[in-house]
Structure 1
Amino acid sequence: MSSHPAIKASEITEGDSPSAPGAVRVLTGTDDSTYRERLVGLDDAHRALTYEILDSPLPVSGYRSTMRVWPIADTQGAFLTWHATFDAADGHTPQQAVTAVTEEAYAPAIAALHQTLS
């Protein structure tokens, strides 16, 4: 199960392990949309993972993202960075692509993560 509020199911469809680079998962949205993602890299030592979106309803192409968790020693907390590169899909403006990624994907995911960890 996913902790993203817009995702109701997640299934590994390729690869021997969900944490091995090359693994592909299919996410099913609460609206029955589907997303296919491939794990590109997982670096436990640097607390980082990189993935790419293969197919999705988002108006983007060439999406590749890296998430990294940075420890904050003073507070015993953590800081998350989430960096992505992508282009607007055909028929969409760059602003539509950015808005979709930041408002439909990142904002609800980060809010759910924050609530889970609070």
Structure 2
Amino acid sequence: MIVAGIGSKRGVAMEDVLAALDAALARAELARDDVSLIAAPAVKGGEAGISEAAALLGLPLVLVPQSQLEAASSRTKTHSERVVALLRVPSAAETAALAAAGAEARLIGPRLALGPVTCALARRGSVA
């Protein structure tokens, strides 16, 4: 199972979310069909662009509570001071992907930032 974690600035467009997802998938040599769900911090629940992207792809959107983001923090690969100031975690995309994929999940690679969106891919179970 592969989870795509999404972080974004406010007001992000669906097209920006899809572009970041596609770029992260291309870097990992994966396809959209390999993704089982989209995850984002719960505070992003009102972001239409994220929910519209998940709906277009026919994937569930999991909104990860703050406590679960924090629990996944030690497994991240990158660190953003901006995200630490806003969410108290090193990476919104990475912690969302890891938390939604489970305790044994590992990142496929570091988050990819593209414009106003970051995307990280996590695989349940083992390192890719």
Which protein has the larger Cα radius of gyration, Structure 1 or Structure 2? 1
Q: Shared fold (TM-score greater than 0.5)?
A: no
More strand by share: 1
What is the TM-score normalised by the length of structure 1? 0.28
More helix by share: 2
What is the TM-score normalised by the length of structure 2? 0.26
